[in-house]
Structure 1
Amino acid sequence: MTSAGLSASASPIYRRVAWRLIPFLFICYVVNFVDRVNISFAKLQFLQSLHLTEADYGLAAGMLFLGYTAFVIPGMKLVGWIGARRTMATIMTIWGLCTIVLAFASSQREFYLVRFLIGASEAAFAPCVILYLTYWFPQRLRGQMMSLFEISPTLAGIIGGPLAGWILQRFGRTGTLEGWQWLFLLEGAPAVVLGVMAWWWLTDGPRQARWLSEQEARFIEDDIRRSVGNTAHRNASFRDVAMDPRVYGYAFVYFAIFWCLNIFGTWTPTLLREAGVATPLEIGVYSSLIAIVSALGAYLMSRSSDHRLERFWHITAGALLTVVAFLSLRYAGGNTPATVALLCIGSAGIFTALSLFWTTPTTYLSEHAARHGIAIMATLGSIGGFLSATLSGWLKVQTGSLSAGNELAACVLVAGIVVLRMVLRPPMRRETLANLPLEE
């Protein structure tokens, strides 16, 4: 069958690709997010065991993002050396083992160190998957595909919240281990299993996929090149990408989104407890409800964005929902329904912004430059996760409330949207990554 003949049946081809790749990557990222934020549930018990304050907890949560920041670029360089499949398999295995080790941390320093190692080991995973999706789907489909991937953390909330609550209650003190230790043990193991599976389930691109014909693989590659224009053939070095100011504009936008996303990942159980939700299991159930609303809202907004081929206003709408929620939480007081409703609105908004954000820089960057650009953006953006966790914890100790931290996050997000408007305008300078010379 020729490429022309395949063009008429593109939908079945991409549907088959999606069914092959997206569920597995979806599950991997669910596990990734569970292992990243399960500390927010473990906090309900381990503060007393390790004699930590709220500020200490904020720093412990933020240490993951410090490791993340330090190792994104080395991790993405690993993709260039050994390929995306081997990189993802290695990353998942290591972060799963580190999560298991966290269960045996017996001091504040050990806890900080292992959290740093978890961040360092998982650093390149999300950027690697974002890059990986650009190997398989043209621009017109990336919004939906990336939204499915990016809203997978909401499924982590749907499943992970009740599961974490159940583990903390069921294994409150089983044998010599406490409930929070069982939480890290039981939730670290799936990453190791998925890391082993990735070696044979994934391939580095369409040409290596035995479940595609040679003609289908060629059609996918040609379709992707057509969808992004002439820049698909351009190859820029890391230095070329690092000299482009728009890359840093995108990095700041991701910084702002990451800052707010981490508020939900780090402090939702605490906000629910302060709103009057008593037991860990009840907190988990409410977290699940918030995640369901987030997933539905983000997916519908992403489909609307793909249908209209419009990104900025959809991202802005999501961000503004989050801003409104953060500014309103102060007035929810101890009202459980009001707090849950605001967390649903804000979470749906930030996941909309996150899922659609990555469609913008990956369109601007060339195929090869995307690896370098995503690494820079993820490195600088992840600093937002560290700052949001540590500053919110410090502000909570100083003020007795998370409201100041939430309002600071709202201001950062507004600044991010302003910067996004600027970087999406046509570049003022003549030379951009789109017309850089090919590397030898």
Structure 2
Amino acid sequence: MKAKYTASPITGDVLPRNDTQTFEAKTYAKVGRRLIPFLMLCYLGAYLDRVNVGFAKLQMLSDLRFSETVYGMGAGIFFLGYFLFEVPSNVILHRVGARRWLARIMLTWAVISASFVFVKSPTAFYVLRFLLGVAEAGFAPGVILYLTYWFPSERRAKALSLFFMAIPLAGMIGGPLSGWIMHSLQGAMSMAGWKWLFLLEALPSLVLGFAILLYLDDGIKQAKWLNDAEKALLARNVAADAEHKTAHVSIRAFIGDRRLWLMASIYFCVVLGQYGLTFWLPTIIRKAGVADPLWVGAFTAIPYLCAIIALPLIGMSADRRRERRFHLAIPMLVAAAGFATLPMLGSVGASIVCLSIAAAGILASSSQFWSLPTALLGGMSAAAGIAAVNCFANLAGFFSPAIVGWLNDFTGKSTAGLIFISVAITLGAALVFLVPARSVNR
């Protein structure tokens, strides 16, 4: 039987096909080991600073006499700042390089997050949440764009799944940590536990902001930890992948691209569910019968642990089958079912099961979604497109806590808010099938 041969992507020499594939697999494994764990750590810090307000709420509302509506508005107004500055932030990152710009983002949001210890009024709460959104704008889409510089479409779902594992990790680590800080440091040095929470959880982002300057490279050419053969392989694959993507030639063409608006609508529904979970998870567990912040934090780790298991499995399946739509829509429907079932339950155990289903589904959806737009856009269009989709969709981060908070105050129950979230996610899953399979399944 004749051995199959192929030309080396680096030298042009004829080599056994298995040797070429082994070299490529080892090269991407090397890139993954270098970039993904560090970027996950950075996003973990970002997510802690973004959503620790959900834990602070357990003490802050009574201390400052804020209503659920004030909390919902403050939690959501973060995303107005995020919305206004996200596209410019990603375009700047593409032009000046990821290393400096991602470091700038992390350092500024760390300082603003720590400043929440000075909040005394709803106005101060709103202003700092808005500024935190401005500071963080561009980090997540910036990293997504950065990964397109290294990974072609057929390898990106797994990389994105691993990166987005930072969200459930933040919940799994941040929940117990936040509960412990608020429980143990309440009244220490005459300062409330929720103030210690904001102060201490800003420190990792501050350290990581400086670490980015020392560790990250702007792209393949600057990576001294790669040899010439590895650089040539990576550059060739990224260039070949870019040939299938759209590069808009004008702002009018960019805005008029219906695919971008479809993508933004789908992700809007995903984000609505994602922040419905993260901002209200501690409250749901407390209402199920858990009073101590320490135990609230411990129980919040369970749904996120389930999500950590689900994310890489779904990502690897999507890459192996080269199928994107069902790997996004099915987790969305699973999440919708979890949210819809919650209002029917009263016990802690049953609530945790449904929250785990919702968390696994919605966080897997967050990572799988980005396989769609990154398969369609290249160059500056990728920078602006990823940011535009993320920017519009993250307005759901404003509407989700604001609407759920208002519904909680208006009805006196959380039922209406959870049903609203479930319906929105189901609608988003239906929209997924308007994306042509041939455009994204590669």
**Shorter-chain TM band:** over 0.9
CA distance in structure 2 between the partners assigned to 1:221 and 1:368 by the alignment: 17
Distance in 2, matches of 1:49 and 1:278, equals: 16
Q: Which runs of 5+ in 1 are unaligned?
A: 428-440
Q: Report the secondary structure of 1:359's partner residue.
A: coil
Q: Distance in 2 between matches of 1:82 and 1:3?
A: 34
Matches within 5 A, 1:125-144: 125-144=139-158
Cα-to-partner distance string for 1:108-132 (whole Å, 9 max, x where unaligned): 1111100111111111000000011
The CA distance in 2 between the partners of 1:247 and 1:177, in whole Å, is 47
Matches within 5 A, 1:51-200: 51-200=65-214
Partner of 2:11: 2
Counterpart contact for 1:237–1:369, Cα < 8 Å = no
Give the match for residue 259 of structure 1. 272
Paired amino acid for 1:96: A
Instruction: After TM superposition, give the deviation of residue 7 of structure 1 in Å.
Output: 3.6
1:119-154 deviation line (CA, Å, top 9, x unaligned): 111110000000111111122211110001112110
Q: What residue in structure 2 maps to residue 379 of structure 1?
A: 391
**What is the distance in 2 between the residues matched to 1:232 and 1:66?**
30
Distance 2:395 2:242 in 1: 32
**CA-to-partner distance for each residue in 1:249-272, whole Å, 9 max, x for gaps?**
100111110000001110000000
What pairs up with 1:335-350 in 2 under 5 angstroms? 335-350=347-362
Structure 1 pair 252–232 and aligned structure 2 pair: CA distance change class (3 A): closer
**SS in structure 2 of the partner of residue 13 of structure 1:** helix
CA distance in 1: counterparts of 2:263 and 2:307, whole angstroms = 24
User: Which amino acid in structure 1 is aligned with residue 348 of structure 2?
Assistant: T
Q: In the alignment, is the contact (CA less than 8 A) between 2:333 and 2:429 conserved in 1?
A: no
SS at match of 1:196: helix
Of 325, 328, 334, the match for 2:341:
328
Q: Which amino acid aligns with 1:418?
A: A
Q: Specify which of 296, 305, 308 is matched with residue 292 of structure 1.
A: 305
Aligned residue for 1:435?
none
Q: How does 1:362-377 map to 2 (within 5 A)?
A: 362-377=374-389
CA distance in structure 1 between the aligned counterparts of 2:12 and 2:342, rounded to whole angstroms:
54
- Per-residue Cα deviation, 1:318-344 (whole angstroms, up to 9, x for no partner): 0111111111111112x1111000000
- Calculate the aligned-residue CA RMSD, in Å: 1.6
Number of residue pairs the alignment of both structures matches: 425
1:360-407, Cα deviation, whole Å (9 max, x unpaired) = 111011233111111110111011110001000000001112221111
Q: Secondary structure at the match of 1:423?
A: coil
Shift of 1:71: 1.1
Give the aligned residue type for 1:339: S
Q: C-alpha separation between the residues in 1 aligned to 2:336 and 2:242?
A: 35
Q: CA deviation at 1:296?
A: 0.4
Q: Does 1:397 align with 2:409?
A: yes
Q: 1:436 corresponds to which residue? A: none
Sequence identity (%):
37
Give the alignment partner of residue 241 of structure 1, picking from 250, 254, 271: 254
Structure 2: segments with no counterpart, 5+ residues: 1-9
| Map of 2:3 onto structure 1 | none
TM normalised by structure 2 equals 0.93
Query: In structure 1, how many angstroms separate the alpha carbons of the residues matched to 2:315 and 2:95?
Result: 33
Deviation at 1:185, TM superposition (A): 0.3
4+ runs of 1 displaced by more than 6 Å? none
Per the alignment, residue 218 of structure 1 pairs with 232
Q: Which letter does structure 1 place at the counterpart of 2:201?
A: E
Helix, strand or coil at the partner of 1:298: helix
Of 320, 323, 344, 1:310 maps to 323
Deviation of residue 240 (structure 1)? 2.7
* 1:32 matches 2:46: yes
Q: Residue type of the partner of 1:95?
A: W
Quote how far apart the aligned CAs of 1:214 are: 2.5
Mapped to 2, the partners of 1:248 and 1:181 lie a distance apart of 40
Offset at residue 2 of structure 1 (A): 2.3
Question: Per-residue deviation at 1:229?
Answer: 5.8
Residue 232 (structure 1) shift:
5.1
